[in-house]
A and B are shown apart, each in its own frame.
Chain A
Amino acid sequence: MEQERYRRALRAPRPVNILIGFLALGFIGLFLVLPLIVVFSEAFRQGLQVWWKSISDPDALSAIRLTLLVALIVVPLNTIFGLTAGWALGKFRFKGRSFLITLIDLPFSISPVISGLIFILLFGTYGWFGPWLTAHHIQIIFSVPGIVLATLFVTFPFVARELIPLMSEQGTEEEQAALTLGAGGWQTFRRITLPNVKWGLLYGIILCNARAMGEFGAVSVVSGHIRGETNTLPLHAEILYNEYNFTAAFAVASLLTLLALVTLIVKTIVEMKNDPRRRS
């Protein structure tokens, strides 16, 4: 009885409730659901065949291949880096630790376009290392290595950001216990440290992968937009769009959107597994 009264007191009048509900639904519909529908309806506007032709076009296939290649190089590297950083910065306290953590966040706080420009200034023809690279016939900018470097830089923080607070919170007591029980350093890492962060690590990898495949700004600056060679999926979509080839552009965009949806689903599953109520 008492509880029911409190509950009623906390509840807003019905018309207000309905109004707020519709407002929220309207917002979600307009800004989240509608764009999704637009992407897919535009992509399939001229039928499944045109969609298939758009994404099986040699230039599109090359863009898909390049995007996958970049992710295949960048994600493992940043996973290793993130684990190392998480371990060093999460499990130990030392001078300069907070400075390092800030430094890792740098790629987040810099505009992606600037990130790309940094690499042009370093490795471009007129950049710091430009003459030396030219002399040795090494091409970084406007080719695949530049795209990999720019993506590596932009997706640097994802895994580390996920692991530092987690490892910091878990502390080192379990590792110490493992050591007293006779485990070596590698055994302790493999059997204790790694399993304890596996869900956080997976979550970081998923985010890192999504960004590596979807990155536009930094990659756009260093790629040079050479069709069939240095175009990633997002760049390819932009080029098609600029050429008024809307259906093809949306077809490519639908691929990226699908990737985003799959990422979201996997992320949700990981989060459910990672639920603190199921951890100690």
Chain B
Amino acid sequence: MSIKLENISKTFNGFKALDSINIEFADGKLTALLGPSGSGKTTLLRLVAGLEIPDPDPAGRILFNGKDVVNEQVGRRRVGFVFQHYALFRHMNVFENVAFGMRVKKRSERPSQEEIRERVFELLRLVQLDSMYNRLPSQLSGGQRQRVALARALAIRPEVLLLDEPFGALDAKVRTELRRWLRDLHERLHFTSIFVTHDQEEALEIADRIVLTNQGRIEQTGTPEEVFHNPANEFVMRFLGEVNVFHARVDENAAGQVSLKERGELSDANLLIRPHDFQIHLENPPKGSRIAAVIQKIRTAGPIVRIDMSDEENKAILVHLSHEEFRAMSLACGQRVFLTPRQLKIYANGKKKPK
């Protein structure tokens, strides 16, 4: 099912959580709503579910397969919703939690006891918890609880699955396991899924598409590759990973040439370089822009080598190297080196500057 939001705004007590949002979620895709806390991503998800009502003026539309559902109640939208803190029914065991959505159906639509039983166990096998069917939520670990919550949401055969920071409350190891598992599940079941996260790594790893939100607006939409390699603005670039920011000056006289700002100069653009986009030189390279820096700290524990440096103005610079590169260079703390960027992005006043 495709979902389309047209001109949707949401205000809480005068605070504009969402400001005239227009966006489309394609059928069968796994989309990540990514942004800092307070950016409106959860509100957006809750609007789709029907747990919030959009501002009536100006009137916006929420379309499910082209049909406006703004006035449709939560229960009638057939969305599976997974909450950050699971929201399992604490007084019901795992079986009853999953069965709930079927038990509350109208008598004429309600499946028989036997059908409910079969469906619940089918779902519990899917989330690998069929042996725990009679446990209470309080007797489960966080990861198990979230899997029960997912099975419960799937029990109503939803056409859309909405997940609000589903792995936010879990520890790192369980989180990576569960997100791979969710990706697999999505591949098998193939419905439209939207999940909210503030973890860019999570979004880049499992989403088909990423929607970046900030201060109630959408900053960029695209595939993980698009948003990572072509960030639309400085916010997106900063949010999608570690980055070094240098203040720069655009020289209008020299055909818009950009140079790093000297001490005392006003800066009118930011120059952004990712830590892995630096080339390290032991000798001063003959030409081109370069930054002189002193190595402060080297951390080799981990998949990459992380080096903290400081430039002449004592500003911190972070550089990432592969272990191979690092071994070939034999660097040491206190050593003076020169950095040249392999790749950089320039944004004037937060907007992208054509180069």
Contacts and interface: CB of A to CB of B under 8 A. Distances in A.
A183 to B, nearest CB: 4
B25 interface: no
Contact of B152 (A179, A181, A280): A181
A183 B100 CA distance: 9
Closest 3 CB pairs of A and B: A280-B138, A181-B101, A173-B87
A196 B155 CA distance: 22
B81 A182 contact: no
Interface in B60-86: 74-76, 79-81, 83, 85
A178 interface: yes
A279 B104 CA distance: 24
A174 B79 CA distance: 16
Nearest to A192: B89
Nearest to A176: B51
A21 interface: no
Given A183-B100, A184-B104, A191-B104, A177 B90 contact: no
B40 to A, nearest CB: 18
Given A174-B90, A196-B90, A181 B138 contact: no
Given A181-B155, A280-B138, 9 more contacts: A174-B88, A179-B75, A181-B153, A182-B101, A182-B104, A183-B100, A191-B104, A279-B138, A280-B90
B104 A180 contact: no
A interface, size bucket: 10 to 19
B87 A177 contact: yes
B203 interface: no
Nearest to A180: B81
Given A180-B51, A180-B81, A181-B75, A174 B101 contact: no
A179 B74 contact: yes
Contacts of A46: none
Contacts of A180: 49-51, 74-75, 79-81, 153
A187 interface: yes
A181 B97 CA distance: 10
B229 interface: no
A183 B138 contact: no
A181 B156 CA distance: 7
A176 to B, nearest CB: 6
Nearest to B73: A179
Which applies to chain A's interface (DSSP): helix, strand, loop or mixed?
Answer: helix
A188 to B, nearest CB: 8
A195 interface: yes
Given A173-B83, A176-B51, A183 B75 contact: yes
Contacts of A195: 91
B51 A179 contact: yes
Interface of B: 49-51, 74-76, 79-81, 83, 85, 87-91, 100-101, 104-105, 136-138, 149, 152-153, 155-156
Nearest to A197: B91
B347 to A, nearest CB: 40
B80 to A, nearest CB: 7
Given A180-B75, A180-B81, A183-B75, A174 B104 contact: no
A243 to B, nearest CB: 53
Contacts of A183: 75, 100, 104
A173 B156 contact: no
- Among A178, A195, A279, the most chain B Cβ lie within 10 Å of the Cβ of A178
A177 B75 contact: no
Interface in A121-175: 173-174
A184 B105 CA distance: 9
Nearest to B76: A182
A196 B137 CA distance: 13
A53 B76 CA distance: 66
Contacts of B155: 181
A280 B87 CA distance: 11
Contacts of A178: 89, 100, 104
A279 B100 contact: no
Contacts of A279: 90, 138
Nearest to B103: A191
24 contacts: A173-B83, A173-B85, A173-B87, A174-B87, A174-B89, A176-B51, A176-B74, A176-B83, A177-B87, A177-B88, A177-B152, A178-B89, A179-B74, A180-B49, A180-B79, A180-B153, A181-B100, A181-B101, A181-B155, A183-B75, A183-B100, A183-B104, A279-B138, A280-B90
A57 B5 CA distance: 77
Nearest to A194: B91
Contacts of B156: 181-182
A191 B104 CA distance: 9
A180 to B, nearest CB: 4
A230 B266 CA distance: 90
Contacts of B138: 279-280
A181 B49 contact: no
Interface string A195-215: 110000000000000000000
Contacts of A192: 89
B32 to A, nearest CB: 20
